[in-house]
Amino acid sequence: AVPGKTYQLDALVVGAGFGGIYMLHKLRNELGLDAVAIDRAGGVGGTWFWNKYPGALSDSESFVYQYSFDRDLYEQTPWNTKYVPQAEILAYLNGVVDRYDLREHVRLETGMTEAEFDEASGTWTVRTDRGVTFQSRFLVTGLGLLSATNLPKFPGMETFAGRLVHTGAWPEDLDLAGKRVGVIGNGSTGNQVITATAPVAAHLTSFQRTPQYSVPAGNRQLTAQEHRAHRENFEANWEQVKNSSVAMGFEESAVPTFSVSPQERERIYQRTWEEGGGFRFMFETFSDIATDQDANEEAAKFIRRKIAEIVTDPETRRKLTPTDLYARRPLCDSGFYETFNRPNVSLVNVKENPIESVTEQGIVTADGTLHELDVLICATGFDAVDGNYVRVNIRGRDGETLKEHWADGPTSYLGMATSGFPNMFMILGPNGPFTNLPPSIETQVEWISETISHVLTSGTGWIEAKSETESDWTETCSDIAHQTLFPQAASWIFGANIPGKKRTVMFYLGGIKQYRSILADEASNKYPNFATDADILTPA
């Protein structure tokens, strides 16, 4: 691509992760469109390109953490562990790019800076930080749900003489062996990076604001028999996934917590604890952990008892034990609580003893202690879901930016379309399904592809979600979310992790089965909730 030049396309895909790669394949190889993908990263893979921190692992089980659209690809994927480490997922995605001859159609180190829709020509103009401009009829964004990094601001941070890194932009040259390492954050990422780093670091200090509930992941080699069964049961397994709620490859429980005896309850928790899996513990044990306060507390108590059994030092145990609801994104680990029994690991509760400043040598806490560090790792999460959308200027039909459109919180129809932004489709946009992501990504990409095909064949110039439909969908998502306990816990799922960010509902918690059926209805009824250019431009 030549800087200063404008390229004409049928479709531009922004982002080359799980979503963008499949989208590009659909647009080019199935619809035969002139389509290109751009990505700000130096390689394809999205999340799995950026998050190269030690211990990075998908905690959806490997047999469902893949594409399902190509059975041969599935047969050939050599994953033999229950969960897949980052490097293997990245290699897989690179393999997919080559398998479908997509590499020459991906422009790397090319970030979208601005996009603007022109009503007269019915095209998007997308400018990039490379000076290259694209003009395209369709714009599909797969900017990443968890991609815009959140870096906390502590006084003096810029004076730190060691390495300061965020897990979501991990430098490949960083060796933690023998280093004094500090980790701020203990969500899914912090949990993994702490557990993997403690055995190699000279000393690790974990700075925790809110203790978390975590259960064992139970990662292990799959037996040859399991591996074969996943392949032989391909159709049945994916059918199950697509007709479930969280798309994790197991049947969600229909049994309420207090419908069984205390002994039976304990047996079910214990069985799942031994098998492993955060989503399994929350959704496969009992049906009401995420919706009923008492059921939630019962599950939380079990995990607290486990923490008490694992952690030997009483003060450390106290700091590690959560007392609030078990209603954030469920975590699982490979020995997280055990890590705090190591002599080279210490724990600071930053609610009790806040970080006052960062100096050349390390972190100073309120009690006056200087925690000397060679490396400071921020596992502090992301400006999730809409973060990457409001960091660039995306200007729709009326000149309104998406940021302005979302001033009261991000909205969409189906997590993919938003009114005033014609022929633009988001993969994992706000108010999409909350699931194991590859099945939802596939669902969305396939629907977007079908919708683009509909626009191409229907004689329409462009379509966009109707404004009232968008309001209804937002309300639906909010109603469903408020039937659960999730909104009561401060987490990224509701935008509660970013200082100053408005707390809103950002997911459709109705499950993938229901979601897929709504999508199918929309398409088979010829898009009743979308308006066309003719509807909008022709005066009544």
Contacts with ligand NA7 by CB under 6 A lie at 146, 152, 184-190, 209-210, 329, 350, 379-381, 492, 497
Please count the CA atoms within 13 angstroms of the CA of 7 that sit on its side-chain side: 22
Residue 186 sits at the vertex; the CA angle it makes with 181 and 191, to the nearest 5 degrees, is 80
In the three-class reduction of DSSP (H, G, I as helix; E, B as strand; rest coil), residue 258 is classed as: helix
Least spacing, CB of residue 81 vs ligand NA7, in Å: 18
- For residue 491, the minimal CB distance to ligand NA7 (Å) is 6
Q: Which is nearer to ligand NA7, 436 or 469 (CB)?
A: 436
Measured from the CB atom, the residue of 222 and 490 that comes closer to ligand NA7 is 490
Least distance to ligand NA7, CB of residue 50, Å: 11
CB 410, min distance to ligand NA7, A: 17
Give Cβ neighbours of residue 519 (< 8 Å, ≥ 6 apart). 414, 443, 447
Tokens of 229: 């069964």
Cβ-based nearer residue to ligand NA7, 50 or 250: 50
Q: Which residue is nearest to ligand NA7 (CB)?
A: 187
| CA 203 vs CA 149, 172, 339, 365, 371: distances in Å | 26, 21, 12, 17, 10
Read off the DSSP letter of residue 371: E
Reference 393, options 423, 421, 429, 425; nearest CA is 421
Q: How far is the CB of 183 from ligand NA7 (least distance, A)?
A: 9
Query: Min. distance of Cβ 96 from ligand NA7 in angstroms?
Result: 21
Nearest distance, CB of residue 427 and ligand NA7, angstroms: 16
Q: How many residues does the chain have?
A: 540
Beta strands 432-433 and 163-166 are: unpaired
Nearer to ligand NA7, 132 or 145 (CB): 145
From the number of C-beta atoms within 10 Å of its C-beta (0-12, 13-18, 19+), residue 329 rates as middle
Query: Nearest Cα to 492, choosing from 337, 405, 382?
Result: 382
Q: How far is the CB of 531 from ligand NA7 (least distance, A)?
A: 34
- What residue has token string 């039909």? 397
Residue carrying structure tokens 């999409």 = 432
Q: How far is the CB of 421 from ligand NA7 (least distance, A)?
A: 26
Work out whether strand 355-358 and strand 362-365 pair parallel, antiparallel, or are unpaired: antiparallel
* Number of other CB atoms surrounding residue 194 within 10 Å: 29
* Cβ atoms 533, 461 nearer than 8 A: yes
Structure tokens at 199: 């055995």
φ, ψ (nearest 5 deg) of residue 361: -90, -20
By beta-carbon proximity to ligand NA7, the closer residue of 209 and 231 is 209
> For the chain, what is the largest distance between any 2 Cα atoms, rounded to a whole number of angstroms?
75
Q: Which is nearer to ligand NA7, 60 or 444 (CB)?
A: 60
Nearer to ligand NA7, 197 or 380 (CB): 380
- By beta-carbon proximity to ligand NA7, the closer residue of 185 and 410 is 185
Q: Which is nearer to ligand NA7, 299 or 348 (CB)?
A: 348
DSSP secondary structure letter of residue 3: T
